[in-house]
Structure 1
Amino acid sequence: MAIPGNLLSATTEQIDPNTSGWTTKLNCTIGLGVGGRTGGGGCLSVRSVAAGEMQARTVSSYPVTAGTTYYTFSDTAGGTSTAERIGIRWLNSSGTEISITWSVVTMSAWAGWHRVSVAGAAPAGATQAQVLLSSTETGANVSHFWENVYLGLPIRTTGNLLPFNTESTEVDASGWAAVVNASLSRQVPAISWAVDNYLAGGHTLAMTAVAAGNASVLAVDRPAVTPSVEYLAYAYLQPPVLTSQAWIELRYYDASGNQIAAQRSTLAPAATTGMYRQRASMVAPSNAATCSVAAGLDSASAGQVLRLETVAVTVAPKLQAGSLLPYADSSFEQGIAGWTVTSGVATIARTTPWGLAFFDGAYSLSVSSATATASTLRSVKAAGITAGLNYRAQVIVHSAAGSWSSVRTRVRWFDASNVDLGSSTGTSWVLPGSSWYALPSDAVAPAGATQAAVEVVVTASATSSVLQLDQATLWQVLPQTAVVARDSDGYIELTLRELLVDNLISVYRVGPDGTQTLVRGTGGLIDQQALTSDLLIVEDHEAPIGVPVYYHIETYTSPGVMSGTRSSSTVTLNLTDINTAWLKDPGNPQRNCLVVVQQAPDWKRPIEQASFVVRGRRNKVVLSGVRQGLEGDLAIWTRSDAERKALHLLLDSGNTLLWQAAPGMGVDDMYVAVGEVPEARVGRLAQEQWRAWTLPLTEEDMPITTGVNGSAGRTCQDVLTEFDTCADLLAVYATCEDLLLDRRG
């Protein structure tokens, strides 16, 4: 799959099926290599003519805007060259080179695939750019390999409060400052990232301890936060040695800039000194105004280096939609949080080392029982409970040592004064093996309850037993599947809850005759698409009008391996005024228009024919093709300037449209192409806003690959992070829709 937002073509990006997107620039020949990780497995082989630096570049030059920051990266493999780098070559309108923005040279040679990257602002006068690939070889006929190449706008973590350069240090290290005993630089270690991990680049922030002792650095940005909201800071950390005490810290500041709170999370290193993601979360205090993130080493030796990559601060996610427990108490990424042992001999701690045992993140809660007895664990109290409503507590556990006769999940209730109202009966589970098992239990909140905690009663059946627990959640139980017709906006909303992340899903709309039609999502028709959340909301803008339908859902553990099905209730989408009709763009539902129909088309169905006169015969011989779909003119009105502008926006793209009229009007829902459109006034007054339109329609097939355009999680916070004022937006986005979809001019 092509990298989203890439200015390069798929062939140039993936070097499949050929090298037509690339050419030589210095001391090299190029060819099609094998063993690549994208597309058809091809890669760009750059072979040196003589010892020294060799360079290859893109054949094409790509349009850029002076002053705008652009980003390029590539995966590369060599093994003999340590002097490899990537660059952006800036050109003026006549194609003359202005300058080159080069990455820092890779620190060490490595034969495996690893990433190089760089970002920089297009200089004054720049109108075009090319990607340069460079490596310095020790002799002639030495090959270096490249693929997965990107050039475009910066790729940053959606929702990150920190700007791109602070997150990635791809431009420079100016987003960071030394706090104690540290110096800062940028380094490019040879690190292999997943081929589709587009957030990870080549540059890392390198903190070097100046002398023996504690050392730390701090992001200079102070993004605004909302009190009482939980935030999550995370980064990849690469410690210098296995025994290093490396940490990340989320810090809060008041309106005067004074630090008022902090939460540190220390890395428990794994078997190697690789890159490990470490997380720290905390609820913003009532007087918090801004935040930042710090990182460091405790008891460092002089000269030791801590590297950081992909640093982010976001609103803390919910591991289950609607969960009332804080992220720290659900995930155990920074410790045991608010969990306690209220009875029994069990002890609890965060698992160690990093990645030893987890269902989410990198850690879990380790429960150790020295004797074959029962112990009770309790989470922090969570607010937001309403008496009389049903709630579900759930933990995910697995047996790591010994054996456990039962694990009971239940809810402990409290009133507003923290008075214990007792616990629910709970549900007792027997673990059939050592896999991870989800153990839910439902209960109705009693009168007076305003708070609740998750309780887990674990009973060991052998001495020295160890149970690991992760993803503890508590949420109000809502319908797993719900549908509602949004008549005024012309679509049906389908809500699916309690899905399994990383499973696949297919969603079908089922008509009265049993016909199943795949429903459209952001990636096209939802046909075994991967789930990234336990909650999925689908807006079906192609649902028929006036026809009862329901939705059939299939889930899969892997392609073709079905794990379950469910169905919704029946729902009907209505059109209030039968004199109106919907014109919809399946890929851009924000452009959909409700228009008044003046006259339905008089249809014709063209056919390709050739007639031949046979000498001596009275009748011609006619050869016919397949009769084509419907063609005709739809006459409509728009009643205001707003409707007129909306229809222009809908028609501007030339996309395939969906025409939907009320039932009984003699036409079925139809996908159409619209030809040349006349727009006429309906009266002589200049102030008259009504317009008469004639839309020449040609029937088309339903678009299959078109996905629903969306902002992919983009929020106002992302805009605030990147732009200082509204005036800055005017130079970048032509329309509000471009701002919504992040389509930059």
Structure 2
Amino acid sequence: MSVASNLLPANTSGIETDTSGWTTGANTTLSKSTRFYAGASSLGMTATAAGSVTATISARVAVVAGQEYTAYSYWANVVAAAGRSATVRVDWYAAVSGGSALSSVTSATSALPTATTWQTPPPILIATAPVGAQYASVTVSCTGLSAGATVVTDVVSFGLPFTVPGSLFPYDKASAEVSIAEWGGWANATISRTSTVAWEGWYSLQAESLASGVMEVGATRHAVGAGTEYVAQARVRPAVVSSTVRIEIRWYDADIVYLSRSVVDHPAFAGQWTACAVTGVAPPGAAHARMVLVPTAMSAAEIWAFDHMALRASPIPAGSLIGYNTQSMEVDASGWTAVSGCTIGRTTETAWEGAASLRINETGSTGMNATVALSTPVPVTPRQAYQVTPGSSWAQDPRDASSSRRTPGSTRLTS
């Protein structure tokens, strides 16, 4: 789902043992229910009188001020009923116990189905821990219960969101889990937030074409440094018709005057998520950049979904002589040439870092004996030692991908 790692203890999140991880709120009796979204149990919340039920985790969890977090929980009726809505709230504290909350944030209300099925998507919030925050508390609530009625909640989650490391985008901009406020339909497109499909989490950014032709969906700007290489990346999914999508980084100066752009076109396949990216070095004078998604529609009313967007400084190891695409193949395999015994290409089947890697396919029949080389040699200094550190993955039986193994490599060379 949306948390990279749940900070709540397993019994608090899933109530598999008991309800000891929770403190009862007003008008509420807690119980361990045999209904479940995952595992074998959930938290039952019964209303004493007509109204709302609420519960708060018994122990606050440690957080880091300035760090972004997300929270959510799944809900269901025990007996089908209409008019019930759930929320999740996070309160930020300076101390592990006692004291008043520094501030709070509550998710939008999310209606439970008029049935006993689990509510999906769940209520979700995304928030940044304020200055001075060292701990957080999570509260779950549901309104609209009659006296004696019970609802259940499960997989209560709070933690760091699943984002691309180093991305300049906040999680909601990357995932559309709460809003699409930082995106705009600039040309031939209307945009919305959809839960019909998602690569990560429950929502994605959706664009619908107004006519055939190029569409433009753009993000708000972020500060960048001239001379630094950046990568913009996204998962892209046309609903019905395969086509192409251009990923762009547009560069601007300090006065927001357009300078230039870095672009790459990718094929996009109907009904499939495709990892797409572009790399580019911020030109002289660049101070801002924005990511732009440019799919090509074959007709009006075509639906495209985008998820897991990111714009970040390329994660190149300090001192590396090769660019990020040659290092990681996030755009293509153009940085490499098959010298002998093989063909090469970009693959997203496995990756050491990012979404792609260089696939080397043997062309002989007596086992792998392949040579690949950089397409463009890099300058070196005589008598200087260098280190080559590839990460590799191979299938012991080429017919069985499940037997693949991965290992980092390291070779020391002197020019």
TM above 0.5: yes
Query: Which residue, 352, 363, 373 being the options, matches 1:496?
Result: 352
Name the structure 2 match of 1:394. 233
Distance in 2 between residues matched to 1:332 and 1:549, nearest whole Å: 36
1:236 and 1:423, CA in 2 relative to 1: closer, same or farther beyond 3 A? farther
Amino acid in the other structure paired with 2:307:
D
Counterpart check, 1:309 vs 2:154: yes
SS class of match (1:426) = strand
Name the structure 1 match of 2:118. 274
Counterpart check, 1:327 vs 2:171: yes
Amino acid in the other structure paired with 1:426:
V
Residue pair 1:162, 1:221 contacting (<8 A) in 2 also:
no
Residue pair 1:226, 1:284 contacting (<8 A) in 2 also:
yes
Name the structure 2 match of 1:675. none
1:236 and 1:432, CA in 2 relative to 1: closer, same or farther beyond 3 A? closer
Counterpart check, 1:461 vs 2:298: yes
What is the deviation of 1:560?
Answer: 0.9
Residue pair 2:184, 2:219 contacting (<8 A) in 1 also:
no
What is the deviation of 1:300?
Answer: 4.5
Distance in 1 between residues matched to 2:390 and 2:233, nearest whole Å: 30
TM-score, normalization by structure 1:
0.40
What is the deviation of 1:265?
Answer: 5.5
Distance in 2 between residues matched to 1:360 and 1:434, nearest whole Å: 15
Distance in 2 between residues matched to 1:170 and 1:211, nearest whole Å: 27
Distance in 2 between residues matched to 1:559 and 1:365, nearest whole Å: 37
Q: Deviations over 1:608-656 (max 9, x none)?
A: xxxxxxxxxxxxxxxxxxxxxxxxxxxxxxxxxxxxxxxxxxxxxxxxx
Amino acid in the other structure paired with 1:314:
G
What is the deviation of 1:350?
Answer: 2.4
Name the structure 2 match of 1:295. 140
What is the deviation of 1:452?
Answer: 3.6
What is the deviation of 1:293?
Answer: 1.8
Query: Which residue, 63, 66, 69 being the options, matches 1:225?
Result: 63
Larger relative contact order (CA 8 Å, sep ≥ 6): 2
Residue pair 2:251, 2:289 contacting (<8 A) in 1 also:
yes
Q: Deviations over 1:18-63 (max 9, x none)?
A: xxxxxxxxxxxxxxxxxxxxxxxxxxxxxxxxxxxxxxxxxxxxxx
Q: Deviations over 1:377-435 (max 9, x none)?
A: 2335445x33212211111121225x5864321124466x6835556242234534332
Q: Deviations over 1:416-471 (max 9, x none)?
A: x6835556242234534332222211221234545543221344332222211111
Residue pair 1:341, 1:375 contacting (<8 A) in 2 also:
no
Distance in 2 between residues matched to 1:555 and 1:462, nearest whole Å: 42
Name the structure 1 match of 2:29. 183
SS class of match (1:439) = strand
How many pairs were matched up?
346
Counterpart check, 1:441 vs 2:278: yes
Residue pair 1:261, 1:285 contacting (<8 A) in 2 also:
no
Residue pair 1:381, 1:453 contacting (<8 A) in 2 also:
yes
Distance in 1 between residues matched to 2:309 and 2:409, nearest whole Å: 31
Amino acid in the other structure paired with 1:407:
V
What is the deviation of 1:266?
Answer: 5.4
1:566 and 1:269, CA in 2 relative to 1: closer, same or farther beyond 3 A? same
Amino acid in the other structure paired with 1:409:
I
Larger Rg: 1
Name the structure 2 match of 1:474. 311
Distance in 2 between residues matched to 1:248 and 1:381, nearest whole Å: 30
Distance in 2 between residues matched to 1:368 and 1:242, nearest whole Å: 35
Distance in 2 between residues matched to 1:396 and 1:160, nearest whole Å: 24
Distance in 2 between residues matched to 1:177 and 1:347, nearest whole Å: 45
1:213 and 1:444, CA in 2 relative to 1: closer, same or farther beyond 3 A? farther
1:250 and 1:406, CA in 2 relative to 1: closer, same or farther beyond 3 A? farther
Name the structure 1 match of 2:100. 257
Distance in 2 between residues matched to 1:265 and 1:250, nearest whole Å: 12
Distance in 1 between residues matched to 2:20 and 2:402, nearest whole Å: 50
SS class of match (1:330) = helix
Divergent runs of 4+, >6 A? 268-272, 548-551, 562-569
Counterpart check, 1:204 vs 2:49: no
Residue pair 1:213, 1:301 contacting (<8 A) in 2 also:
yes
Structure 2 residue runs without a partner (length 5+): 317-323, 329-350, 360-367, 370-387
Name the structure 2 match of 1:78. none
Name the structure 2 match of 1:22. none
TM-score, normalization by structure 2:
0.67
1:555 and 1:362, CA in 2 relative to 1: closer, same or farther beyond 3 A? farther
Residue pair 1:225, 1:290 contacting (<8 A) in 2 also:
yes
Amino acid in the other structure paired with 2:130:
P
Query: Which residue, 13, 18, 31 being the options, matches 1:167?
Result: 13
Name the structure 1 match of 2:381. none
Taking every aligned residue pair, what percent have the same amino acid on both sides? 28
Amino acid in the other structure paired with 1:357:
V
Distance in 1 between residues matched to 2:135 and 2:268, nearest whole Å: 45
Residue pair 1:374, 1:459 contacting (<8 A) in 2 also:
yes
Distance in 2 between residues matched to 1:323 and 1:409, nearest whole Å: 16
Structure 1 residue runs without a partner (length 5+): 1-156, 194-199, 482-494, 506-513, 516-547, 574-745
Counterpart check, 1:428 vs 2:265: yes
Distance in 1 between residues matched to 2:57 and 2:10, nearest whole Å: 12
Distance in 2 between residues matched to 1:420 and 1:249, nearest whole Å: 41
Distance in 2 between residues matched to 1:375 and 1:282, nearest whole Å: 31
What is the deviation of 1:360?
Answer: 1.6
What is the deviation of 1:220?
Answer: 3.6
Matches within 5 A, 1:465-544: 465-477=302-314, 478=316, 479=324, 480=327, 496-499=352-355
Residue pair 1:249, 1:265 contacting (<8 A) in 2 also:
no
Counterpart check, 1:343 vs 2:186: yes
Distance in 1 between residues matched to 2:407 and 2:228, nearest whole Å: 24
Distance in 1 between residues matched to 2:222 and 2:77, nearest whole Å: 35
Aligned alpha-carbon RMSD (Å): 4.4
